[in-house]
Amino acid sequence: MKFRSLGLPCLAGLLCLPVSCSPSSSTGEGKAAVLAVPPPSAAVNYPVSGSAGPDELARLAIEHHPSIAAARHRAGRLEAKVAQEQSLPDPVAEIAAGSMAETAAGRTEAMGGIKQKFPFPGKRREAAAAAGSEAAAALAEVKVLELKLTEQVHAAWWDLYLADQTLALTRESRSLLEAVRDAVDARVAADQAGQADQLRMANELAMLDRDLAAAGQVASTARARLNSLLNRPAGASLPAARQAKIPSAGSLDSLLARAQSRHPEVAAAEQRANAFRHRLKRAELEKYPDITAGVSGAAISDSGLSRMANGRDQIYATLGVNIPLWQEPRKAMIREAEEGIAETEAMIASTRSELRFRVEDAWFRAKTARDVATLFETRLVPDATQAYEVTLTGYSAGTSSFSDLVETWRGLLAYRLQLASNRAQVGKASATLRAAAALD
């Protein structure tokens, strides 16, 4: 069978196929396809259990927050580059026609061939390994984002807890003050106290109303923040922020060792360093030439000037190599990879240093806040409660002044609010510590 009867028409068809199948830019179909991609999902008011605590809310945030979805898609995008780097380049098909040379076998009617480039052994492997390391670094960054989002959810939870406790304690204190007002009114009615005490009492109640309004605004802000982390509307309902159990984190030395060796930020930096090491090997292989092999043929006419013309088609193989002549770009590739290795190794050291600070700072903050909370809970609040009750009884009996009564009441309220604040500080510091030490 003649080469021209089968090979050249098929080859021409192969060359024309991609052109005929590609979308025309003038029709705008390519742009329409891009615009048809749906935008990221907006906040959704999905249900949250009324008994959900900070750990459950953190799980929901990881499931629904768009930043986590974006990070996972980025990791998938980088993973898809591995197969691209492993693959051979597309073969090149060529066809030639027109006024061509005449051979002894007859006039050349057309020529065609196909060529395949084969990179030097190891180049594709190292490029694919570099892409794989970049994908692994992206996966580690997903875990980093999950840890940060979990820390933020726990912090927002404890902010909401403190705001709700401030509201509850202020309302309770206002009720106590109203009971004191009854005692003041009774003493004024018995001419045992002046109207100045009533005016001061009214002023204290007004100040509490001001504090209630401010605490309500803080609580609304805390709820909006928590809902934003959950990717829910700002006004979506949330469970009551109760005091959650805070597990002991363990010794400082063990947490430091864990952060240094197992934190995903360190893992991501190490994978980037590995990627540059593979790029360095790939760059060092650039001094070796690539091979291009091919098969070509020519369709020969039966007629020709030569009496020996027989129309026999020609088929032959080709083999070529590129000449790595220009070395400066290759040297620059090596320098780029070496600088990348030095950069990422320095980043690993910087990341470990930052993690050491974060772990130590959070550990001491959690310990101090826990100790102070224990002090308030076991000594200061009970003593202030007893002092308030004694002063209230003394004021009713005429043995204590109104100033003493207001002072002990203010002290009791301040201590109770400080206890709630210290509990929130323990929770927030523990959340930071768990994120810095990569504790699940």
pLDDT for res 194: 73
Give strand pairing partners of 110.
97, 299
pLDDT for res 104: 65
pLDDT for res 202: 85
Q: Where are the domains of the chain?
A: 51-87+119-288+324-436, 90-118+289-323
pLDDT for res 200: 83
The answer to whether the CB of 254 falls within 8 A of the CB of 439 is no
Q: Is the pLDDT of residue 48 over 50?
A: yes
- Enter the pTM of the model: 0.79
* CA distance readout (Å), 433 to 16, 154, 247, 355, 425: 63, 11, 12, 10, 12
Average pLDDT on 129-156 reads 96
The radius of gyration of the chain's CA atoms, rounded to the nearest angstrom, is: 39
Q: Is the pLDDT of residue 15 over 60?
A: no
**Cα–Cα dist 19/27, whole Å:** 15
The answer to whether the CB of 171 falls within 8 A of the CB of 205 is no
Average pLDDT on 405-410 reads 86
- The per-residue DSSP string of 173-231 comes to HHHHHHHHHHHHHHHHHTTSS-HHHHHHHHHHHHHHHHHHHHHHHHHHHHHHHHHHHTT
Q: Is the pLDDT of residue 26 over 60?
A: no
The answer to whether the CB of 290 falls within 8 A of the CB of 127 is no
CATH architecture of 51-87+119-288+324-436: Up-down Bundle (1.20)
Looking at residue 419, its amino acid is: L
Q: Could you tell me what percent of the chain has a pLDDT over 90?
A: 59
